[in-house]
Structure 1
Amino acid sequence: MNIDLKGIAGPGGWPQPGCRCASCNRLRTAGISHEPTSILIDGVPLEECSRWEVPGGYDVRTATGRRILVAGGPGARPDPVAEIVYDAALLDLVGCPDHLGALRHLGAVTAATEIIAVHVDHRVSSSAELDRRMAFWLPLREGPHRTLLLGGSRSGKSAEAELRLAGDPYVTYMATATVRDGDPEWAARIAAHQRRRPSWWKTVETTGDLAHLLTSTAGAILVDGIGTWLAAVMNETGAWEDPARVGPRVDELIAAWRAATARVIAVSDEVGLSLVPTTPAGRAYRDVLGTLNQRLAAESEETALVVAGRVTEL
């Protein structure tokens, strides 16, 4: 089966005529232009192939019996036909990367399926950024592999962690923050995180048993985040006045991080760029978390810093 893409962009092309966004301007400056998505399958235009409409796109069948799932346009999430394993899937990975994870979760897409991004446009900042994301989504990475994502408040670190795992079929989200009585603003933050997660992800609220879960959970794991875990453990151990009390729990977490056999991504707060806390408890927390981040990074295959939604590999 030969899939030939004459164009990969959305209906308006990329860059879009008259659009002054940064994404389109980057391509113009580089002299790059992508035509609207146009597909030939074994030399035959998609529109002339044997195809059946499914919600969100098309189920295409070649003369040799191959099956291809095709997104109908930007934002489309084509439903697979039951019990069919597709030979190829042409998907809107810019707008709906989690749809790839859903198809893998259902078994409609496997490691043998050819995955191609179509309807690409200025919803992604650049061709290089698309390539960076595709490197996370296309191969099904297995563990052990540990990634630490650092960033300040509202830096985009949680969104980056979720983006990296969007294409995975089985993800366990280990949430270390829980709803606090009488704090509606905090509850709203947690609810916003919950709405972002794909429906098939498993969520586990945990603090005390995080180390055990890291070594006993299969599939991909997202821990969000280390800072709230540490605050909870410092409460449990009374470490705000005596930081040494949290030492054994930190050692236990580092041992579990080192022993984990899954693909793990953990989110943590970068405390070195903020003001010096004005209270002894605040300084104790900063010091312990900063040291914990260093130890986690030393045991990680990848560490990155997220600033204003941009990612710098460390």
Structure 2
Amino acid sequence: MRLIRGRDPGPLAAPGALPLPGRPRRGRPFRVLVLGGARSGKSVTAERLLGNRDQVDYIACGPRADDGDPDWAERVRLHRERRPAHWTTLETLDLEAVLTGRDLSAARQRVPVLIDCLSTWLAGVMDESGLWAGVEGADKELSGRVDGLLDAWRSTTRLMVAVSNEVGLGVVPPTASGVRYRDELGRLNAQVAAECEQVWLCTAGIARRLR
């Protein structure tokens, strides 16, 4: 059997802005969660949802890139190069301040926000809580941080687009810490999704709206 092709495939066109269905209204929350596995296109989808906005606050929740982890540094570099130059980048785990607009002017509170991503936020908070070090009260500290995020997510009046990994479809993690992280992230995703106007799922670069 031969596959006969009339001509060689041309290059793919650069993706443009992805229309954001619905009508986000000033002063009212409009929250979007974009889920997907590794290399599923979730970050690109989230960026396209806000691609036609003049201003966007991009919240990077991962660790800072350094020479100690070249793979992570390369990921960060690619993300930076892909983002529009006029977006404002903030590296922080204090998502409560971002969601509430604390210490921001009224004009700045109207700027849309892209959080990338809740997965790295949770990993960082679990580490800061002392969970892996067995610090006394770590579970309570983690629970409080998650509750604080959820309360702020429910009460925000900003246009929010958050990215998160869907980790419940792969193999069972071989370590107890991996299972704990998977379970915590699954619960967080479900709780955030319940408070969203839209939820998207990305698979093999294809984005499908679930809600």
When normalised by structure 1's length, the TM-score is 0.56
The partner residue of 1:291 within 179, 183, 187 is 187
Q: Deviations over 1:195-247 (max 9, x none)?
A: 0011110000011x111111104311000000000011000001235645411
Structure 2 gap ranges (5+): 1-5, 102-108
Q: Decide whether the 8 Å contact of 1:243 with 1:288 is kept in 2.
A: no
Q: Decide whether the 8 Å contact of 2:24 with 2:30 is kept in 1.
A: no
Structure 1 gap ranges (5+): 1-17, 23-93, 99-132
Q: Supply the distance in 1 between the matched residues of 2:24 and 2:143 (Cα, whole angstroms).
A: 36
Give the match's secondary structure for 1:211: helix
Match of 1:206 in 2: 92
The partner residue of 1:275 within 155, 171, 174 is 171
Give every structure 1 segment of 4 or more consecutive aligned residues whose post-TM-superposition deviation is greater than 3 Å: 18-22, 94-98, 139-143, 240-245
Report the AA paired with residue 171 of structure 2: L
Match of 1:301 in 2: 197
Match of 2:40 in 1: 155
Match of 1:220 in 2: 112
Give the match's secondary structure for 1:160: helix
The partner residue of 1:250 within 146, 149, 160 is 146
Q: Supply the distance in 1 between the matched residues of 2:60 and 2:34 (Cα, whole angstroms).
A: 15
Shift of residue 19, structure 1, vs aligned partner:
5.7
Match of 1:112 in 2: none
Shift of residue 149, structure 1, vs aligned partner:
0.5
Does residue 197 of the first structure (1) align with residue 93 of the second (2)? no
Report the AA paired with residue 170 of structure 1: Q
Q: Supply the distance in 2 between the matched residues of 1:292 and 1:219 (Cα, whole angstroms).
A: 25
Report the AA paired with residue 122 of structure 2: L
Change (3 A) 1:283 1:299: same
Change (3 A) 1:238 1:166: same
Q: Decide whether the 8 Å contact of 1:243 with 1:284 is kept in 2.
A: no
Q: Supply the distance in 1 between the matched residues of 2:61 and 2:41 (Cα, whole angstroms).
A: 17
Q: Supply the distance in 2 between the matched residues of 1:260 and 1:180 (Cα, whole angstroms).
A: 33
Change (3 A) 1:144 1:275: same
Report the AA paired with residue 112 of structure 2: A
